[in-house]
A and B are shown apart, each in its own frame.
Chain A
Amino acid sequence: MSDIQVARRQRRWHIAVFLLPALIVYTAIMIVPLAQTLNLSLFHNDAQNAVHFVGIENFRTLFVEPRWAAQFWNALRNNFVFFLIHMVVQNPIGIALAALLSIPRLPGRAFYRTAFFVPTMLSFVIVGFAWKLILSPIWGVTPSILGAVHLKWLFAPWLGKESSALITVALISVWQFVGIPMMLIYAALLGIPDEVIEAAEMDGVVGPSQFWKIKLPLILPTIGIVSVLTFVGNFNAFDLIYSAQGALAGPNFSTDILGTFLYRTFFGFQLQLGDHYMGATIATVMFFIILAGVCAYLFLIQKRMRRYQF
């Protein structure tokens, strides 16, 4: 009896040894700085560089004071547009490609799957710059491709025009990331039990109607996960816009999203000095937006979808 108890107590030490390295690194490098950043948003320095507790004053400045508010609401609005474009373009294309790939005994499936995922592997820097070159009127690749199908009149320097830059950047991001929803949904489609499909076939539900009536409802939980991943990724995006449009997210801030706004505020740009406290305030707002999105998913969407899981 006492032997077992001793053995048990010894085992408890192993648990700590196994857990501590991960917990220490994770807590020290991720959780503590995150908490510090959230905390910093409640402080500000005055002209003498003394730091004061200012409560929610920074948030008031960000939301209301004209110098900040105009940029903040612009970035937030652009970020929602960026997200919406991903939801209406990236995810349907991802679902469509996954549906096609999951057709049984499709020749060349491995080739297509590999090809579709190539852009996802590339860094934003490469993708941003490559597309900047491809869409550049100087090089003229895009006009000559459009010319080949008699659509040359469509061409405009899309990345350089205020009206189209945000949509163009979002579509470049869609091009890059469509591989992720495709893979996740493809995996979900493969996971549907054969019995379900066979039962549908017995009832004469085949082809496209089988997809809409049987498979799509069954993969809704995966579409939920894809949506929340898209949300988190988009509200945390920075690299692509920084590489394609620069820190000023031009032209005239038309591609500015929260990530680039945070970077400019934190580090300063041109003549404006960096402001750690306002930077922390923006990071805090981003934190709560992402948290709200994740909670909405967990409590509203995922709960209702449980019943579909096998």
Chain B
Amino acid sequence: MRPARSSPARTGLVHLALIVWTIVALSPVILILMNSFKSRAGIFREPLMPPTGSTFSMIGYQTVLGEGHFIRYFGNSLIVTLVSIFFVLLFGAMAAFALSEYRFRLNTALGLFLALGIMIPIRLGTIGILQMMAASGLVDTHLALILVYTAQGIPLAVFILAEFMQQVSADLKNAARIDGLSEYTIFFRLVLPLVRPAMATVAVFTMIPIWNDLWFPLILAPGESTRTVTLGAQLFLGQFVTNWNAVLSALSLAILPVLILYFIFSRQLIRGITAGAVK
């Protein structure tokens, strides 16, 4: 028996509202992607029409790939993001294991100390960070960004992973201890594989703000050789502000990798948010 049956009219209104917001959310993105494949005349004369035989043009992409160093910027973003994620996951999982597995005097205090980093943005320490990086000669290196992003990602990673590690059966771990496995083996061989889904969630959560960050690349690594794609796009857009073909293509090139990754990982991401928030 299901007393709550919604009428067709109400269902229709629900879908209408959802479709309206879908259009609001997607149309700007589609507009940019669509116009990036058009000639200048096409962009201005019929901005709302998809590219046709007469308006189709790749001139924007040719300019972007010819003038900018987007391939290098992509490489930089990729290195910084992947290495940061690796260390966030490794260090975060190790700390999460220590905090969730063992009882020791400073456990709660250290948990609170790390919790500070979830709420207080690392940006507020920028001046101190820049002084430190300048003093150690790390300005304009990948390492500077990797260190900052690792520090930024660790607090949330520890909390999400600790939550999941508590669910790993204690019997399993104790059985391993009786078999004489070391704590390190238990962590790397037993616990880590079991929390792999949570690690994927943390990876996606960590990846988005790093890939999209403008502040730290602008301040710590503005040089040509370490420029990330977000900063590169920002500078390129400022420089080519009147070349609409190039601007639209640069925007599309920056949008596409994120969209592709999102469609690959969206299930993981949504499951992660759902699981985390239910707690």
Q: Taking beta carbons and an 8 Å cutoff, which residues of A are in contact with B?
A: 11-12, 14-15, 17-19, 21-23, 25-26, 28-37, 40, 93, 96-97, 100-101, 103, 106, 108, 111-119, 121-126, 129-131, 133-134, 139-141, 144-145, 175, 183-184, 186-188, 190-191, 201-202, 206-207, 210, 222, 228, 232, 236, 238-239, 242-243, 259, 266-267, 276, 279-280, 283, 286-287, 290-291, 294
Contacts and interface: CB of A to CB of B under 8 A. Distances in A.
A201 B3 contact: yes
Nearest to B94: A18
A25 to B, nearest CB: 5
Contacts of B132: 29, 32-33, 36
Contacts of B99: 19
Interface string B206-236: 0010011111000100000000001001100
B233 A125 contact: yes
B148 A125 contact: no
Contacts of A101: 18
Given A118-B25, A139-B44, A145-B48, 7 more contacts: A14-B182, A15-B104, A19-B99, A118-B259, A201-B4, A236-B121, A280-B127
B132, B234, B262, B277, most chain A CB atoms within 10 A: B277
A121 B48 CA distance: 24
B238 to A, nearest CB: 8
A287 B120 contact: yes
A134 B248 CA distance: 11
Nearest to A290: B120
B154 A25 contact: yes
Interface of B: 3-4, 6, 10, 14-15, 17-18, 21-22, 24-26, 28-29, 31-32, 43-44, 47-48, 87, 90-92, 94-95, 97-99, 102, 104, 110, 114, 116-117, 119-129, 131-132, 147-148, 150-152, 154-155, 158, 182-184, 187, 208, 211-215, 219, 230, 233-234, 237, 244, 247-248, 251, 254-255, 258-259, 262-263, 266, 269-270, 273-278
Contact of B150 (A29, A186, A238): A29
Given A33-B128, A126-B255, A22 B92 contact: yes
Given A19-B94, A25-B154, A26-B114, A238 B215 contact: yes
Nearest to A219: B277
Instruction: Give 8 nearest A-B pairs by CB, closest first.
Output: A33-B128, A123-B212, A36-B128, A34-B125, A29-B151, A187-B277, A22-B95, A18-B98
Interface of B is mostly: helix
A238 B212 CA distance: 13
B126 A108 contact: no
Given A30-B152, A207-B4, A276-B127, A115 B22 contact: yes
A18 B187 contact: yes
Given A12-B104, A276-B127, A22 B158 contact: yes
Nearest to B235: A125
A144 B25 contact: no
B98 A126 contact: no
Contacts of B28: 119, 130-131, 134, 175
Nearest to B104: A15
Contacts of A30: 117, 122, 125, 151-152
